[in-house]
Chain A
């Protein structure tokens, strides 16, 4: 069965610093990969996704993620954190066959950005 592990339930960075949120998946076949963001008291919205092609994927708000098959990883980065990036971030996977978008989510990483 597929699973997703997000290393670090809480990450704190200074404004302007690099953001790195880690995600590793467990699957015999590389799945589709997603990052979602949840702002307080809101639903989730898609940041970016990897399905095929270029392994470095760019998303909204300056975020990007790189799919590394050899490391079974899909880490999320942003060069310079902004106060508005404070939110909870979820990595998710979906099987390539018959998935019907049945996403499997990681436990989430709460990002705090301090001045």
Chain B
């Protein structure tokens, strides 16, 4: 009954370091998403993958890259971390591609960039 699993849950980086956030879902969903959550700004879409083998930019893609490794896994990479990327990152998945489906979220990864 895992749903969407994100690792790590917490990470502290220095400016310029790189890291990858991992996400896996066990619900056989087609679509996966990466959001960032900042105080007073809600959640903003970074990248999404409508189906295995495809990825597209969301609202705030600069400074990030993604990989849809297979149907289950969708990773988010920061190549050269900046303090502005300090945030809580959420991975989500959904079955429907028609815009009516429910998103299932992971518990979040809290990233601090010093």
* B-binding residues in A (CB < 8 A): 4, 9, 32, 36, 41-46, 49, 51, 90, 94-108
Contacts and interface: CB of A to CB of B under 8 A. Distances in A.
Contact of B108 (A43, A49, A95): A43
Contacts of B75: none
19 contacts: A36-B103, A42-B107, A44-B92, A49-B100, A90-B42, A94-B99, A95-B99, A96-B99, A101-B31, A101-B33, A101-B100, A101-B103, A102-B33, A102-B48, A105-B35, A105-B44, A106-B42, A107-B40, A107-B41
Interface string B82-111: 000000001010101111111101111000
A108 B100 CA distance: 21
A110 to B, nearest CB: 10
Interface of A is mostly: loop
A-B pairs, 5 with minimum CB distance: A99-B99, A43-B105, A105-B42, A105-B43, A94-B99
